[in-house]
């Protein structure tokens, strides 16, 4: 994880660094109510958020239960399937082979090794787990998906220790009906992927990995490349451990059930996730982060959901549009492909919320850095936002109440759509628009009225505005923001007047 910011934060008042928050479209102090004015029209929402939780665990209490399959197994009870060309061999009556298709029809543990030019199908109508152990298995199909789970109570894919495995689907599927698979690894049942081996998935026709129920990743080194979406878990997509890399044209890591309450959430508790995509990086009705290392190296919008909660984790986001975008599915659809004009004037939707309670978050955006079409609350964390350099967007964009009660927030970017936290936020904040754009590499020094240094940052992008909040700031006190030797006096909790972007008013 790259953390190019040099920050020497010295709190003038003792206290833990704890939180940071986000912002809204329009040039204003974020509203103390649930509506603000904006430059774009409002839209109704049909997305089910299904939680009023303020932490990850609170939100999960309202969500559907996560089913995680056991990756442990007894080798003595396992059935071997040896793959070879367009055929395979096995001693089990539950395994049939015909015309390059290996079909498994009963629960149990199956160890697959070798190379198959064809497909593995799981069609088990009985109870019990179907456990597929990939032990140096390569499966390539010229007509359809590599693995297709048609029916099963649940499926666990185990990447055997020390093994290297690969799944590649066809460039064109023979069956393109509504019920046909749409990924190299496709499952209609709850799916768990784990183990300590490696898996390379190539989606040449559509998606990489698709779970039509829930999908949980508990381990392994997984590398997905796809011409559409990377990894999809319809009801939920969970990462607890392992190293996952996605390079996709469509959305990289998403859960897309927008109809059923308590479904459609992405949960990251641990492991490492690195994605590069031409569309959205991490996307769900809810995006819940409680740990792990996340890097969205390139995206249109890096992280998007109707409810986004960050409790912990080491996160770096790069986006051509918004870095963090809290919006309904209707809002998202309405703005797809439009680039990231600031949302200013749009009425706030109180069902949409961004919570940052901890962790480390660094955002590099060409659109809005932290954007909520509803509310935003920061209670902890260490947040740095390198926002846009043009005035159509802002580093922070919050349509409703933007409250900061803890943590450390630094947001820099253009001044034309500048937004600051609410004036009655419990934690102090300062905001200023610069008289001229400062170049990347400029040093921002914040001092109190005695001249004592509060914080110093070296900024990695051009900037025309600065918003800062930390536990060391006292509302109503006077501070000095010095950028490359040019000093500006500001009062904590007051919106700045002047600057090239014009007054930032409440």
Mean pLDDT to the nearest integer, 17-24:
32
Per the domain annotation, does 114 fall within a domain?
Answer: yes
**Better pLDDT: 332 or 373:** 373
Alpha-carbon gap, residue 178 to 315, rounded angstroms: 37
Q: What is the DSSP letter of 303?
A: E
Q: Locate tokens 């409703």: which residue? A: 400
What total number of domains does the chain contain? 1
CA 247 to chain centre: 14
User: Any idea which of 108-122, 148-162, 264-278, 329-343 has the lowest mean pLDDT?
Assistant: 329-343
d(CA 454, CA 456): 7
Measured CA angle at 300 (ends 295, 302), to 5 deg: 35
> Contact, 291 vs 312, CB < 8 A?
yes
CB 371 within 8 A of CB 392: no
| Entry pTM | 0.89
**What pLDDT score was predicted for residue 43?**
32
In a domain, 283, yes or no: yes
Residue 1 falls inside a structural domain: no
pLDDT digits (tens, 9 = 90+) for 386-430: 999 999 999 999 999 999 999 999 999 999 989 999 999 999 999
Residue 13 has pLDDT above 90, yes or no: no
Q: Is the pLDDT at 308 greater than 80, yes or no?
A: yes
**Residue 28, pLDDT above cutoff 60:** no
Q: Is 91 left (phi over 0), alpha (psi -120 to 50) or beta?
A: alpha
Contact 417, 39 (CB under 8 A): no
Length of the chain: 506
Handedness of CA 411, 416, 417, 423 (dihedral sign): positive
Mean pLDDT for all residues in the chain: 89
Distance CA 218, CA 187 (A): 17
Instruction: For residues 42-63, give the mean pLDDT.
Output: 73
Q: Partners of 29 in the beta sheet?
A: 420
- How many whole angstroms separate alpha carbon 254 and alpha carbon 198? 21
75-109 residues labelled b (16+ CB within 10 A) or e (exposed): eeebbbbebeeebbebeeebbebeebbbbbbbbbb
pLDDT in the model for residue 18: 30
Does a structural domain hold residue 71?
yes
> What is d(CA 51, CA 61) in angstroms, rounded to the nearest whole number?
8
List the one residue out of 479, 380, 388, 496 whose CA is nearest residue 21: 380
Q: What is the pLDDT of residues 59-91, one digit of tens each?
A: 999 999 999 999 999 999 999 999 999 999 999
Is 477 domain-assigned?
no
Task: Output the pLDDT for position 50.
Answer: 53
Within a domain: 338: yes
Residue 162 region by backbone torsions, left for phi larger than 0, else alpha for psi between -120 and 50, else beta: left
Domain of residue 256 covers 22-38+48-130+152-422
Complete DSSP assignment for 436-503: EEEPTT-EEEEEETTS-EEEEEE-SS-EEEEEEE-TT--TT-EEEEEETTEEEEEETTS----STT--
> Would 468 be classed as within a structural domain?
no
pLDDT at residue number 375: 97
Residue 294 lies in a domain: yes
340 within 8 A of 367, measured Cβ to Cβ: yes
């Amino acid at each position: 994880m790259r953390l190019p910011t040099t920050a020497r934060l010295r709190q003038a008042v003792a206290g833990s660094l704890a939180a940071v928050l986000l912002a809204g479209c329009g040039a204003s102090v974020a509203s103390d109510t649930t509506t603000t004015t904006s430059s774009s029209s409002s839209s109704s929402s049909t997305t089910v958020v299904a939680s009023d939780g303020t932490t990850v665990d609170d939100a999960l209490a309202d969500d559907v239960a996560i089913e995680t399959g056991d990756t442990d197994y007894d080798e003595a009870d396992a059935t071997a399937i040896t793959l070879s060309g367009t055929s395979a061999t096995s001693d089990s009556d539950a395994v049939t082979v015909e015309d390059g298709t290996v079909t498994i029809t009963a629960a149990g543990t199956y160890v697959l090794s070798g190379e198959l030019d064809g497909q593995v199908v799981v069609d088990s109508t009985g109870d019990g787990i179907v456990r597929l152990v990939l032990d140096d298995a390569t499966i390539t199909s010229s007509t359809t998906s590599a693995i297709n789970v048609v029916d099963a109570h649940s499926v666990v894919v185990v990447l055997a220790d020390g093994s290297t495995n690969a799944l590649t689907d066809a460039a064109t599927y023979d069956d393109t009906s509504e019920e046909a698979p749409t990924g190299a690894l496709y499952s209609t049942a709850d799916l768990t992927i784990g183990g300590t081996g490696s898996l390379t998935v190539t989606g040449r026709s559509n998606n990489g990995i698709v779970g039509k129920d829930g999908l949980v990743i508990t381990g392994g080194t997984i590398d997905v490349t796809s011409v559409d979406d990377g990894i999809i878990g319809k009801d939920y997509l969970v990462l607890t451990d392992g190293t996952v890399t996605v390079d996709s044209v469509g959305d990289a890591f998403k859960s897309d059930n927008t109809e059923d309450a308590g479904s459609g959430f992405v949960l990251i508790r641990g492991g490492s996730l690195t994605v590069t995509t031409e569309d959205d990086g991490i996307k769900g009705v809810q995006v819940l982060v409680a740990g792990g290392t996340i890097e969205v190296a390139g995206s249109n919008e890096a992280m998007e959901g109707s409810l986004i909660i960050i409790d912990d984790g080491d996160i770096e986001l790069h986006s051509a549009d918004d870095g963090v975008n809290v919006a309904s599915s209707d809002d998202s659809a309405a703005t797809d492909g439009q680039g990231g004009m600031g949302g200013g004037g749009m009425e706030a939707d109180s069902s949409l919320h961004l919570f940052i309670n901890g962790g480390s978050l660094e955002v590099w955006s060409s659109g809005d850095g932290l954007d909520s079409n509803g509310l935003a609350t920061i209670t902890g964390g260490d947040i740095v936002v390198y926002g846009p350099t043009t005035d159509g967007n802002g580093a922070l964009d919050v349509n409703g109440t933007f409250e900061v009660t803890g943590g450390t927030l630094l947001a820099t970017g253009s001044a034309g759509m500048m937004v600051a936290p609410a004036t009655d936020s419990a934690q102090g904040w300062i905001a200023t628009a610069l008289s001229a754009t400062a170049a990347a590499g400029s040093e921002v020094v914040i001092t109190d009225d005695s001249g004592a240094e509060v914080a110093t940052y070296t900024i990695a992008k051009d900037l025309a505005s600065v918003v800062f909040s930390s536990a060391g700031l006292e509302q109503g006190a006077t501070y000095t923001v010095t950028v490359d030797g040019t000093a500006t006096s500001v009062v904590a909790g007051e919106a700045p007047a002047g600057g090239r972007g014009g007054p930032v008013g409440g």
